[in-house]
Structure 1
């Protein structure tokens, strides 16, 4: 760990509080209400859980996308979400506006595999991303990702870089 950490931007996601806080030089820049996994915390493949520990933003996706733009497999579909469109596709797990794709830094915890199998945040496609504004925030409802309001993820996206640290804590 380098001793310049205080100069870096870092994100702390608190699962118990359902918050994402951006720090710069150890000062709070902004805090958002988020929604983590309905299935709780965990890092195993196919668990539907939000992984704990130290991560980095591996890829920023959707730089110039419209607010509510729809992504499937990290690719813009050309669709823009609205309530009517949502009713046509009630089972979709909406990924909207921007994607911050996370990669784990802790071997056997959120990177690679462990005795239970795969536990790799990046290979599990765990993101911080926008979700329909009708979805509640502050309540764990995702399939493992960290959901944010569309305006919030766009604002956050502009303030972070690939390589910035994201630490997900239980409480």
Structure 2
């Protein structure tokens, strides 16, 4: 049987949670102003100003929260579930490597594929930030939202589904992710 790249990357057992986030804020352009009723010549008009604040994620395992920063200012934070004893979420500096909408999960022992939907342990989004070449760790949703706030995963960072959707919209591949004890 042939698996897509996400299925191969989701070989971590059920409940694996995903954490990762470093985000670049969307570019914003200042409007070009001109005198009333004066047409703007596209060849001589000033270029719009760009605002390129860096977005990054900081996961504090002891707080069981991921913090989203824009520049040096805290924008928001979300509660998370982290790796349990023997399957700890790795501490260190990483970058978002992969982002998937409606991921397919492959059971690591049976190879059974779980399609997107209510029974998928990855929820609606996957944000991958760590791999050893075989296993993958990232931020993801969960159908077991009552476990958010606990150390219950196999290394991934589990989030409430509404929170992973919000986080996914604010990060990009390459966003820095720092995992602190």
Q: TM-score, normalised by structure 1?
A: 0.66
Aligned to 2:140: 129
Cα deviation, residue 78, structure 1: 3.8
Which 4+ stretches in 1 moved above 4 angstroms? none
- Secondary structure of the residue aligned to 1:80 is coil
Residue 117 of structure 2, aligned match among 80, 86, 94: 80
Instruction: Determine if contact 2:145/2:159 at 8 Å carries over to the other structure.
Output: no
Q: TM-score, normalised by structure 2?
A: 0.62
Say whether 1:98 aligns with 2:116. Answer: no
Unpaired stretches in structure 1, ≥5 consecutive residues: 1-5, 40-46, 86-92, 105-119
State the distance in 2 between where 1:152 and 1:79 align.
Answer: 17
State the distance in 2 between where 1:136 and 1:77 align.
Answer: 20
1:44-85 CA-to-partner distances (Å, cap 9, x unmatched) read xxx5221000010001111xx3xxxx63149x844421xxx5
Unpaired stretches in structure 2, ≥5 consecutive residues: 1-51, 108-112
Say whether 1:52 aligns with 2:91. Answer: yes
More strand by share: 1
Aligned to 1:34: 80
Q: How many residues align?
A: 125
State the distance in 2 between where 1:7 and 1:146 align.
Answer: 25
* Larger Rg computed on CA atoms: 2
Greater Cα offset, 128-137 or 13-22: 128-137
